Amino acid sequence: MTQDCIFCKIVAGEIPAKLVYQDEQVTVFHDIDPRAPVHVLIIPNRHIASLTAVGDEDAAAVGRLLTVAGQVAQLTGVAETGYRVTVNVGRDGGQAVYHLHAHLLGGRRLSWPPG
Ligand code: 5GP
Ligand code: ZN
């Protein structure tokens, strides 16, 4: 665990979060500031700062992250109506938390392209 990383603390159960799913590789929880009726975050349990920091050794966890995203879409009821899975990276990408995470947004019509 990386000190002072809020998402590492959520994985460890040190900060409360509304968990949706957790296994040995990934954790899924509701975003604290939801931007859509369904807005969950899917994160690797192991600290990876961003998509840019993903290495070959992370392939299984990152693959698991996307696999679980599709399953959580079913679990949260947006699989049929559709949804978006987004990874914000760096300053211009709007990344605020430097622990890799995918946003899963659904339950309303999402505009394209994002702002
Ligand atoms: P980013 O802008 O880095 O792609 O997204 C970070 C997301 O994490 C934001 O949507 C923000 O609302 C969410 N977030 C930040 N801190 C917390 C927290 O302590 N708990 C939860 N559940 N979500 C958080
Ligand atoms: Zn972390």
Q: What strands, in cross-sheet order, belong to the sheet with 19-22?
A: 19-22, 26-30, 38-44, 102-106, 83-86
Check pocket membership of 95 for ligand 1, CB cut-off 6 A. yes
Q: How far is the CA of 93 from the centre of ligand 2 (A)?
A: 18
The reply to whether the predicted model has a pTM over 0.75 is yes
Residue identifier of the C-alpha nearest atom 17 of ligand 1: 32
| Domains of the chain with bracketed CATH | 6-106 (3.30.428.10)
pLDDT of residue 115: 85
CA 28 to mean position of chain CA atoms: 7
At residue 52's C-alpha, the angle toward residues 83 and 90, to 5°, is: 70
Check pocket membership of 22 for ligand 1, CB cut-off 6 A. no
pLDDT in tens, the chain (115 residues): 777 999 999 999 999 999 999 999 999 999 999 999 999 999 999 999 999 999 999 999 999 999 999 999 999 999 999 999 999 999 999 999 999 999 999 999 999 999 8
